[in-house]
Amino acid sequence: MSHLKHVAIAGATGAVGVEMLRCLEQRNFPVGQLTLLASARSAGKTVKFKGTDVTIKELKADSFEGVDIALFSAGGGISKEFIPHAVKAGAVVVDNSSAYRMDDSVPLVVPEINAEDVKKHKGIIANPNCTTAITLMALWPLHQAFGVKRLFASSYQAVSGTGAQAIEELERQTREWAKAERKWDDVRLPADQVKVYPHQIAFNALPHVDSFLDSGYTKEEMKMENEGRKIMHHPTLRASVTCVRVPVFRAHSVAVSAEFEKPVTVEAAYEVLRTAKGLDLVDDPTLKKYPLALDVAGKDNCAVGRLRLDCALDNGLAFWVAGDQLLKGAALNAVQIAECLV
């Protein structure tokens, strides 16, 4: 590849696509030519990149001629349909959907963990699930030091992980409640206000992210184990996860209890996490300092805190990790993968 790249973004008008564009600009990615692709209804609109208006084009099979790197964030169905065309045209694709994550021929990459896997690509590199990526930012350095065996986790996932329509729904439901001047014990809204999720999301918590499997887990919950094994090259990792959608606009949080092969202390864990790339240690409960969704929103780094010995596990450590799922959980990670290609 030459120094300047012809970069395409498929799904350029979505929540993640917008962040991909911002990351490319903020990180001074060597973009020589930029192609923005979306649905027919968005074609013809313009967005600014480095002060220049770029016209959005309709995503078609022939949209990738001359493209070096294509960033996809338009859903699994779109990825399955159009990525083969992009690869055939000579582009290297970084896909943010789940379409290729568990394909043995496709690297699944978090650059801070397994950047070397990028070299194994055959035209496609997969971006991991957002909750998995954020959790592994804290778990990986601990695994290197102590050897993780299994983990139990509960996620608290922002609505922006679902997309722009979910953001709008939470805002609309909240405004509807405030407009009606209801009291705290009267928060249930009319059914016509519930469209994106199966239940009202405002003032609620939904233990339902993605579709349910026969096991009773959801697809989202199994991604932590399946993707974690692949990214960390740890085929025996075991993870029991409950994923919950909460009325937060941006940034996921995850409560983790992990059991390790080696004895672990809080002090030793601090030393490991202080120097971990892409991670901030925020842990001083006496001063009420711990990772908050509000604080990591819009930030590249994830944050970890609330470290304590797990009183129910041998060699166990409990911690709380938070990160912007539109950034490290999606757009930023994809651009970092593209940087590995460069």
- 325 labeled part of a ligand binding site: yes
Determine the Cα–Cα distance for residues 100 and 76; give it in Å rounded to an integer: 9
- 240 labeled part of a ligand binding site: no
- Of the chain, the end-to-end C-alpha distance in Å amounts to 7
- 238 labeled part of a ligand binding site: no
In which order are the strands placed within the sheet that holds 238-245? 238-245, 148-157, 252-260, 316-323, 302-309, 279-281
- 163 labeled part of a ligand binding site: no
- 336 labeled part of a ligand binding site: no
Buried b (16+ CB within 10 A) or exposed e, 128-152: bbbbbbbbbbbbbbbbebbebbbbb
Which active-site residues does the annotation give? 130, 252
- 173 labeled part of a ligand binding site: no
- 144 labeled part of a ligand binding site: no
Q: CA angle, corner 244, sides to 132 and 304, nearest 5?
A: 50
Tokens of 80: 């399955």
Q: Which DSSP helix (H) or strand (E) runs through 226?
A: helix 219-232
Which among 99, 125, 100 is positioned nearest to 114, based on CA atoms? 125
- 157 labeled part of a ligand binding site: yes
Cβ contact 86:70 at 8 Å: yes
- 13 labeled part of a ligand binding site: yes
Cβ contact 218:209 at 8 Å: yes
Residues marked as binding?
13-16, 41-42, 101, 157, 160-161, 245, 325
Residues marked as binding for substrate?
157, 245
Residues marked as binding for NADP(+)?
13-16, 41-42, 160-161, 325
Residues marked as binding for phosphate?
101
